């Protein structure tokens, strides 16, 4: 392994719960119950694509203008949760792994579909670990498209085959594999079956495990 590329929401910090709360609130206003199972389909997917998934599951079609208004409303709730977030919300083991990778000279990138990623990493005070940061403002195609991971590898100046991606979303695992990278899934082995290995949390990972992939 020459480089390690981290997803943000659901890997380094549990902002995935805040996305869920905000989408659930928006869905309720539309008379929809957003289940945890359907929420899995939104993970790693960009904001407008997520709204389109919620609407299509429920057979709703709306004009673009109204969709923009709803997506902005969801983002206002989400950023409210982020404002109240504490540095301590970084997931257990994340800083130790970032530290160990940096000490070993392994290049580190962040590849998050979120347009709020820069705010979140500053809230967590972890910007110093990243040699490259690619967020939702810098890509045109959201995960499962490999664009975000290919862009991260290019910014690190490494080949995709030398990268390991850490992801919690089905769409993210698909994107990593489509980019020709190794991928560690964080979460359920059933949902993330395309990953090279799956663990319950980032705290279970260390450099030896990653090097053996």
Residue positions annotated with a catalytic role: 7, 9
Q: How many alpha carbons lie under 13 Å from residue 163 in its C-beta half-sphere? A: 32
DSSP string, 85-124: --GGGBPTTHHHHHHHHHHTT-EEEEE-S-TTHHHHHHHH
Question: What string marks each residue from 12 to 51 as x (binds Mg ion by CB under 5 A) or -?
Answer: --------------------------------x-------
User: Any residues with CB less than 8 A from the CB of 124 and at least 6 apart, and which?
Assistant: 12, 13, 87, 89, 90
Residue nearest to ligand B16 (CB): 112
Minimum Å gap between C-beta 127 and ligand B16 is 15
Question: What string marks each residue from 48 to 87 as x (binds ligand B16 by CB under 6 A) or -?
Answer: --x------------------------x------------
DSSP class of 145:
S
Contact between 47 and ligand B16 per CB under 6 A: yes
Contact between 42 and ligand B16 per CB under 6 A: yes
Check the CA dihedral 33-35-41-42 and report its sign.
Answer: positive
Contact between 9 and ligand B16 per CB under 6 A: yes
Contact between 7 and ligand B16 per CB under 6 A: yes
Minimum Å gap between C-beta 143 and ligand B16 is 6
Instruction: Count the residues of the shown chain that bind ligand B16, applying the rule CB under 6 A.
Output: 21
Q: Is residue 101 within 8 Å of residue 205, measured between CB atoms? A: no
Minimum Å gap between C-beta 65 and Mg ion is 29
Instruction: Count the residues of the shown chain that bind Mg ion, applying the rule CB under 5 A.
Output: 6
Backbone angles phi, psi at 4, to 5 degrees: -125, 125
Minimum Å gap between C-beta 102 and Mg ion is 21
Rounded Cα–Cα distance for residues 65 and 166 (Å): 35
């Amino acid at each position: 392994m020459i480089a390690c590329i981290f997803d943000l929401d659901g890997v380094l910090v549990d902002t995935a719960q805040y996305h869920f709360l905000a989408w659930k609130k928006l869905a309720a206003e539309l008379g929809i119950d957003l289940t945890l199972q359907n929420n899995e389909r939104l993970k790693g997917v960009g904001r407008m694509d997520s709204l389109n998934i919620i609407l299509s599951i429920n057979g709703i079609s709306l004009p673009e203008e109204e969709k923009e208004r709803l997506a902005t409303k969801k983002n206002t709730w989400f950023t409210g949760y982020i404002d109240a977030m504490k540095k301590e919300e970084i997931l257990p083991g994340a800083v130790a792994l970032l530290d160990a990778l940096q000490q070993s000279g392994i290049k580190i990138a962040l590849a998050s579909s979120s347009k709020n990623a820069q705010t979140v990493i500053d809230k967590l005070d972890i910007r110093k670990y990243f040699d490259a940061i690619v967020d939702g403002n810098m890509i045109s195609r959201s995960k499962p498209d490999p664009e975000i991971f290919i862009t991260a590898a290019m910014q690190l100046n490494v080949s995709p085959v030398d990268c390991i991606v850490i992801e919690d979303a089905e769409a993210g695992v698909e994107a990593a594999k489509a980019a020709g990278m190794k991928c560690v899934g964080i979460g359920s082995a059933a949902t993330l079956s395309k990953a090279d290995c799956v663990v319950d949390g980032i705290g279970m990972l260390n450099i030896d495990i990653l090097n053996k992939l």
